[in-house]
A and B are shown apart, each in its own frame.
Chain A
Amino acid sequence: MEYLRELLTQQVAGYDQLPEVLQIFLPMLLACLLCLGLVAFIPLVAIWGERKVSAHMQDRLGPMRVGGWHGWAQTIADGVKLLLKEDIVPAQADRLLFKLAPLVVFAGGFAAFVVLPFGESFIVSDLNIGVLYIAAISSLGVVGIIMAGWASNNKYALFGGMRAAAQIVSYEIPTVLAILTVVIPVGSLSMQEIVRAQSGGVFNWFIFQPVTFLAFWVVYLGTLAEVNRTPFDIPEAESELVAGYHTEYSGMRFAFFFLAEYANMFLVSALATTLFLGGWHGPGFLPGPAWFILKATALVFVQMWLRWTLPRLRVDQLMHVSWKVLLPISFLLVLAAGTLALWREGSP
Chain B
Amino acid sequence: MQVEAYAGEEMVLNMGPQHPSTHGVLRLELETDGEIVRNVIPHIGYLHRCFEKHAENIDYPGVIPFCDRMDYIASMNNSLGYALAVEKLMGLEVNERVKTLRVLMAELNRIASHLLSIGTYAMDIGSFTPFLHCFREREKVLDLFEWLCGARLLYNYNWVGGVSHDIPEGFEAKTREFMTQFEPVIAEMDKLLSYNKIFLERTADVGIISEEQALSHNVTGPNLRGSGIAWDLRKEEPYCGYETYEFEVPVGLGEHGPLGSCWDRYYVRIREMEQSLGLIRQALDRLPEGDVHEHIPRRVRPAKSEVYDRTETPRGELGYYLVSDGGLIPFRVKVKSPCFTVLSLLPAIAKGGMVADIIAIIGSIDIVMGEIDR
Which A positions have Cβ atoms within 8 angstroms of B?
54, 57-60, 155-156, 159, 163, 230-231, 233-234, 237-242, 308-317
Check A230 against B126 for contact (C-beta < 8 Å): yes
Q: Any chain A CB within 8 A of the CB of B174?
A: no
> Nearest Cβ distance between residue B126 and chain A, in whole angstroms?
3
Check A242 against B127 for contact (C-beta < 8 Å): no
Once the chains are docked, how many angstroms separate the CA of A230 from the CA of B125? 11
Which of B252-260, B291-299, B355-363 binds A? B355-363
Q: Any chain A CB within 8 A of the CB of B11?
A: yes
Check A312 against B128 for contact (C-beta < 8 Å): no
Q: Any chain A CB within 8 A of the CB of B75?
A: no
**Using a CB-CB cutoff of 8 Å, which residues 30-79 of chain B contact chain A?**
35
Check B201 against A317 for contact (C-beta < 8 Å): yes
- Pick the contact of A310 from B11, B133, B196 — CB < 8 Å? B196
Check B201 against A313 for contact (C-beta < 8 Å): yes
Whether A155 touches B202, Cβ cut-off 8 Å, given contacts A54-B128, A237-B356, is no
Check B198 against A312 for contact (C-beta < 8 Å): yes
> Nearest Cβ distance between residue A315 and chain B, in whole angstroms?
5
Q: Which residues of B contact A317 (CB under 8 A)?
A: 201-202
Check A313 against B198 for contact (C-beta < 8 Å): yes
Known: A54-B128, A57-B129, A311-B127. 16 other contacts (CB 8 A): A59-B136, A60-B132, A155-B13, A155-B14, A156-B13, A163-B35, A239-B359, A241-B355, A308-B128, A309-B192, A311-B198, A311-B199, A312-B356, A314-B356, A315-B35, A316-B35
Check A239 against B21 for contact (C-beta < 8 Å): yes
Which B positions have Cβ atoms within 8 angstroms of A?
11, 13-14, 19-21, 35, 122-129, 132-133, 136, 192-193, 196, 198-199, 201-202, 354-357, 359
Check A314 against B20 for contact (C-beta < 8 Å): no
Q: Which residues of A contact B14 (CB under 8 A)?
A: 155
Q: Which residues of A contact B128 (CB under 8 A)?
A: 54, 58, 308
Check A239 against B124 for contact (C-beta < 8 Å): yes
Whether A239 touches B123, Cβ cut-off 8 Å, given contacts A59-B136, A155-B11, is yes
Check A311 against B20 for contact (C-beta < 8 Å): no
- Pick the contact of B198 from A155, A159, A231, A316 — CB < 8 Å? A231
Q: What are 22 A-B pairs with beta-carbon distances under 8 A? A: A54-B129, A59-B136, A155-B11, A155-B13, A159-B35, A230-B126, A231-B126, A234-B356, A239-B124, A239-B125, A308-B128, A309-B127, A309-B192, A310-B198, A311-B122, A311-B198, A312-B198, A312-B356, A313-B201, A313-B202, A314-B357, A317-B201
Whether A58 touches B198, Cβ cut-off 8 Å, given contacts A233-B126, A239-B126, A312-B127, is no
Check A315 against B354 for contact (C-beta < 8 Å): yes
Check A238 against B127 for contact (C-beta < 8 Å): no
Once the chains are docked, how many angstroms separate the CA of A60 from the CA of B132? 9
Check B129 against A58 for contact (C-beta < 8 Å): yes
Check B125 against A240 for contact (C-beta < 8 Å): no
Q: Which residues of A contact B126 (CB under 8 A)?
A: 230-231, 233, 237, 239, 310-312
Whether A314 touches B132, Cβ cut-off 8 Å, given contacts A231-B126, A239-B359, is no
> Nearest Cβ distance between residue A237 and chain B, in whole angstroms?
6
Q: Which residues of A contact B192 (CB under 8 A)?
A: 309
Check A159 against B355 for contact (C-beta < 8 Å): yes
Q: Which residues of B contact A315 (CB under 8 A)?
A: 35, 354, 356
Once the chains are docked, how many angstroms separate the CA of A241 from the CA of B355? 9
Once the chains are docked, how many angstroms separate the CA of A243 from the CA of B35? 16
Q: Which residues of A contact B354 (CB under 8 A)?
A: 314-316
Once the chains are docked, how many angstroms separate the CA of A238 from the CA of B356? 11
Q: Which residues of A contact B201 (CB under 8 A)?
A: 313-314, 317
Q: Which of B13, B201, B355 has the most CB atoms of chain A within a 10 A radius of its CB?
A: B355
Once the chains are docked, how many angstroms separate the CA of A308 from the CA of B193? 12
Q: Which residues of B contact A57 (CB under 8 A)?
A: 129
Once the chains are docked, how many angstroms separate the CA of A311 from the CA of B20? 16
Q: Which residues of B contact A312 (CB under 8 A)?
A: 125-127, 198, 202, 356
Q: Which residues of B contact A309 (CB under 8 A)?
A: 127, 129, 192
Q: Which residues of B contact A59 (CB under 8 A)?
A: 132-133, 136
- In the complex, what residue of chain B is closest to A308 when comparing beta carbons? B129
Check A311 against B133 for contact (C-beta < 8 Å): no
Q: Which residues of B contact A237 (CB under 8 A)?
A: 126, 356
The 4 closest A-B pairs by CB, nearest first: A312-B126, A311-B127, A58-B132, A239-B21
Check A240 against B199 for contact (C-beta < 8 Å): no
Q: Which residues of B contact A241 (CB under 8 A)?
A: 355
> Nearest Cβ distance between residue A159 and chain B, in whole angstroms?
7
Q: Which residues of B contact A155 (CB under 8 A)?
A: 11, 13-14
> Nearest Cβ distance between residue B100 and chain A, in whole angstroms?
33
> Nearest Cβ distance between residue A225 and chain B, in whole angstroms?
13
Once the chains are docked, how many angstroms separate the CA of A54 from the CA of B357? 26
Once the chains are docked, how many angstroms separate the CA of A238 from the CA of B126? 8
Check A240 against B127 for contact (C-beta < 8 Å): no
Once the chains are docked, how many angstroms separate the CA of A196 from the CA of B124? 46
Q: Which residues of B contact A238 (CB under 8 A)?
A: 20
Check B355 against A311 for contact (C-beta < 8 Å): no
- In the complex, what residue of chain A is closest to B362 when comparing beta carbons? A239
Check B21 against A240 for contact (C-beta < 8 Å): yes
Once the chains are docked, how many angstroms separate the CA of A59 from the CA of B202? 26
- In the complex, what residue of chain B is closest to A316 when comparing beta carbons? B354
- In the complex, what residue of chain B is closest to A313 when comparing beta carbons? B198
Once the chains are docked, how many angstroms separate the CA of A313 from the CA of B354? 12
- Pick the contact of B133 from A58, A159, A316 — CB < 8 Å? A58
Check B359 against A311 for contact (C-beta < 8 Å): no
Once the chains are docked, how many angstroms separate the CA of A240 from the CA of B30? 12
Q: Which residues of A contact B193 (CB under 8 A)?
A: 311
> Nearest Cβ distance between residue B300 and chain A, in whole angstroms?
44
Q: Which residues of B contact A308 (CB under 8 A)?
A: 128-129
- Pick the contact of A239 from B13, B20, B136, B196 — CB < 8 Å? B20
Once the chains are docked, how many angstroms separate the CA of A238 from the CA of B357? 14
Check A310 against B132 for contact (C-beta < 8 Å): no
Once the chains are docked, how many angstroms separate the CA of A57 from the CA of B188? 13
Q: Which residues of B contact A54 (CB under 8 A)?
A: 128-129
Check B355 against A240 for contact (C-beta < 8 Å): yes
Q: Which of A163, A230, A241, A314 has the most CB atoms of chain B within a 10 A radius of its CB?
A: A314
Once the chains are docked, how many angstroms separate the CA of A101 from the CA of B244? 66
> Nearest Cβ distance between residue A58 and chain B, in whole angstroms?
4
> Nearest Cβ distance between residue A221 and chain B, in whole angstroms?
13
Once the chains are docked, how many angstroms separate the CA of A237 from the CA of B35? 13
